[in-house]
Amino acid sequence: MADIESLIQKVQSYNPEADVDLIRRAFDYAYEAHKDQIRISGEPYITHPLATAEILADLEMDNVSIAAALLHDVVEDQDFSIDDIRKNFGDEIAGLVDGVTKLALADFDVGEENLEEPEDAPKKKKTAEFRRSAENLRKIFLAMARDLRVMVIKLADRLHNMSTLDNVSREQQIKVSRETKQIYCPLAHRLGIWKIKWELEDYAFKYLEPEAYADISDKVNRHRNDREEELAEAVDMMQRHLAKDGIEAHIQARQKHLWSIYQKIKREEVEFSEIYDLSAIRVIVNRVGDCYHALGLVHDLWMPIPERFSDYIAKPKSNMYQSLHTKVIGPRGEPLEVQIRTWDMHRVADFGVAAHWQYKERVHGGDEFERKLSWLRQQLFDWQSDSIDAGEFLHSVINDLFTDQVFVFTPRGDVIDLPAGSTPVDFAYRIHSDVGNKCVGAKVNGRIVQLTYKFNNGDIVEIISRSNSQPSRDWLSFVKTSHAKNRIKSYYRKLYFGDSVIKGRDMLERELERIGQDAHHLKTADLNSVAKQLNLHNEEDLLAAVGYGHVTPLTVINKLKLPTFPKAEAIVIEAPKSTTGKKGLAVTLDGVKNLMISRAKCCAPLPGEDVVGYISRGKGVVLHSAACPNAAVFKLHEPERLIEINWVEAAGDSYSTDIKIKAMDRLGLLNDITAVFSESKINITGAKIKSLTDKTANIDLTVDVTDIRALNDVITKLNSISDVLVIDRVSGHMSSKVR
C-alpha cells in the first residue's frame, strides 16, 4: 500500500508542476476524518481513499481529481458536509466529491429477478430498493454529464473495493460483483478506460463464477512459458524488421485477460486448447503515418488472415479508441493479433476519457477532445431527463448502454454509438430532438434508405428533415433506443398537454370529494410545492402528470397539507367466509339478522372504498360508492335511508369490476397486460379488444378482485408498461381514473 509521499512522487513523475500542497492538505483532511475508522480487513480506513487516488495517478489524472479521490468518502462516512469541503477546497473539488459520494453496496443490483413487480411484502421491499437504486444511478449520471471525472473517480473507488472483496461475506461478494459487471464494466468500456475495465471484469468473474475462473487461470498459467517464448520470438523478429526500414517503435506483448478468454470459449463453443490467440502484440510508434508503414511491414513479415483487419484510426470507436488491428499467422504457424498505434492513441486506449484531464493533454488538443466528449455528455443528459419514473429510467439505461452496440458516423466524421438494430430515426433523435421530430428520410453511405433500415458498423448517416413534418406513431414499432421512444411519446403528450392539465385537475377534485375534502385545497402555491417535491417544474406540469397517469391523485393529495376531522363511528360490515361476495352479503345489522347487503350496479364499489349504505324497499341495504351520483341524490332527498358503513373484505371473496385500457398498439401488448394479472393472481372473466386506425388499442376487461387495494396495485403495475396510455375503472354509467 502506497503512502502519501509515494503518491506525490508518482504524480510529480508525470506532472512536475503538480500542486503538491493541495494533495497534502486533502490527505491530512481525510486522515483526520477517518482516523477512528477501520476497514473490514483490519486496515486503517485511510488506506482506501489513498489507494483510490493512486489508481488515478496511474491514469495520470489532474490534481483536482487526486484530491477529490482522497476526500470522496469524508461526507458519506463522517460528520462533514459538502459545504465544509467547498469552504476548504473550493467549488470544483466539492462538486466532484458530491457526485462521487459513496453509494450503498448493491445500489445498482439490476438482475432480471429485480425487474419484476412484487407479489408480497419482501418483494415490495426489493422493488423499493430497486427504485432507490435507479434514483442513485440517475444522480451519478447527471453528475457525470456535468463532469466525467466523477465516473473516473468512482471507477477507481470500485476497483480498489473489488481488490479487497475477499474480506466480506460470500453474499456480499456476489452482490457487489454483479453490480460491477452490470454497471461499472460497461461504463468503463463506454468511457474507454480499458486499464480499469479488464481488471473489474476479471474480479467480477472471480467472485461470480469461482470454479470457471480457477480453471481458466490454471490453464493460462500452465501455458504461460510456451506462450512467452513465442511472443518473445515474434517481438524480436518484428523489432528487427521495423528497424531495417527506419521505423522507431516500442513493442509490447499483451496477455488477454481471463474474462475475455472465458467469453470466447463460450461464444465459439470451443475448448481452451483450441484457442490460439491468447496474446497480442502492440506496436507503438511516433506518428500516424508510421502506423500504416508498420502495418505494411507486419504483413510483409507474416501472412495476414483475410477479413481480420480493422482500421480504428480512420474510423475511431465512440469512446475515442484508435488503433490498427490485424491478425496474422505468427512465427510458429498460429494466429497472432497485432495492434498498431501512436503514443497519443495508446494513452487514450488505456485511459479513455481520463486522458482529457491528464497533465500533458491539457497542453494541446483539448478542444478536439472536448468536442468528442460532447456526444457522451448529451446522451447522459438524455438518459436522466427522458424518464419521470425511476424504474423506466433504469430500463432505458440497461437497454441503451448495456446492449451490443453498432458504430455509425455523421457526415463530419463524429462517431455515434447506438444499440444494435438501431435505425435512422434513432440516429436523428440522438443528434437532437428537433432533428428527430422533423426527420422525413435518411441517406446511408450516400444512398437513400427507408427509416426502418438497421445500421451496420461504419455506416455514414445523413438525416433528411423538413420544418413542417412531425413524428409518426408508426415509428414506435421499429425504433430501438429508449430515448427515441420517449421523445416520440413526449411529442404526442405535448399535443394534448392542455387536455391533460384539465383532466388531472378533475381527477384531483374527484379524489378530494371522495375523501370528504373540498377542492379549494388545490391552491397554486400548494401544487407548485408538491410539483417541486416530485421533480416537476410547476402546477401545470403536475396536473398534466396526473392526467397522463404518471402521478396518482392520491400521491399529490398525501403531500398536500389537508385538515383532518374526527371520523364518525361507522357500522363495520364483514362478510362471512362462506359467502362468494358476488350474489350478496348476509350480515347482522342493528339487531336484524341475515339482512341482505348488495353492491349497487351503478358504481360497483369494492371493499376498502368509502361507501354508504342505502336502505332500499325490499332489497335490504345497497352499498354505493361515496362518490356515486346516485348516493348524492339519496343524500338530498332521502337522507334518513343512508347509513355510514365501513366495508371490510372477507378472506377468499372476490368482486367483479370493469377497467378500460388505452394503449399504443403493438405485437405482444395483450400478452404483457395479461401477464400482470396472472402475476397478481387476478382472474380475467371478460375481455374486449379493438385496434384503432391511429395505432392505439382499446382493451375492456372484467376482472375479479378482493378489494380496492388489489385493484389499485394491478393498475399501478399496468402503468409501468411503457405503451399503456390511460387506465379507467368503469362501473355502470360511471367512469373514473383509478390509482
Q: Which residues belong to the active site?
A: 76-77
Q: Closest by alpha carbon to 696, among 409, 405, 440, 477? A: 477
| Neighbour count for residue 58 (Cβ, 10 Å) | 15
Q: Which three cell numbers stand for residue 257?
A: 485477460
Q: What angle do CA 194, 196, 197 make, to 5 degrees?
A: 60
Rounded Cα–Cα distance for residues 371 and 381 (Å) = 16
Three-state secondary-structure class, residue 228: helix
For 620, residues 6+ apart whose C-beta sits below 8 A from its C-beta are: 584, 595, 596, 597, 598
Q: Which three cell numbers stand for residue 291?
A: 502506423
Rounded Cα–Cα distance for residues 547 and 2 (Å) = 58
Q: Which residues pair with 704 in a beta bridge?
A: 656, 683
Q: What angle do CA 139, 145, 146 make, to 5 degrees?
A: 95
Q: Which residues pair with 356 in a beta bridge?
A: none
Q: Closest by alpha carbon to 626, among 642, 638, 648, 649? A: 642
Q: Which three cell numbers stand for residue 633?
A: 341524490
Half-sphere exposure (Cβ direction) of 10: Cα atoms closer than 13 Å: 20
For 422, residues 6+ apart whose C-beta sits below 8 A from its C-beta are: 406, 454, 455, 479, 480, 481
588, 572 contact by CB (below 8 A): no
Half-sphere exposure (Cβ direction) of 255: Cα atoms closer than 13 Å: 14
**Dihedral pair phi/psi, residue 141, rounded to 5°:** -65, -40
| Neighbour count for residue 448 (Cβ, 10 Å) | 11
Rounded Cα–Cα distance for residues 657 and 732 (Å) = 10
Q: Strand 585-589 to strand 611-615: parallel, antiparallel, or no bridges (unpaired)?
A: unpaired
- Radius of gyration, alpha carbons of the chain: 32
Q: Closest by alpha carbon to 664, among 701, 700, 695, 699? A: 695
358, 351 contact by CB (below 8 A): yes
Question: End-to-end alpha-carbon separation of the chain, Å?
Answer: 56
**Dihedral pair phi/psi, residue 416, rounded to 5°:** -120, 125
Q: Which residues pair with 242 in a beta bridge?
A: none
Which spans in 354-496 are helix H? Answer: 366-386, 390-401, 424-431, 433-437, 482-495
626, 612 contact by CB (below 8 A): yes
Looking at residue 44, what DSSP letter applies?
A: B
> Which amino acid is it at 567?
K
Three-state secondary-structure class, residue 727: strand
CA trace torsion 599, 605, 606, 611 (10° rounding) = -100
CA trace torsion 466, 427, 312, 337 (10° rounding) = -150
For 542, residues 6+ apart whose C-beta sits below 8 A from its C-beta are: 504, 527, 528, 530, 531, 534, 536, 551, 556
Strand order in the sheet with 439-444: 447-449, 439-444, 461-465
Rounded Cα–Cα distance for residues 599 and 579 (Å) = 14
Residue with cell 477501520: 38
Three-state secondary-structure class, residue 582: coil
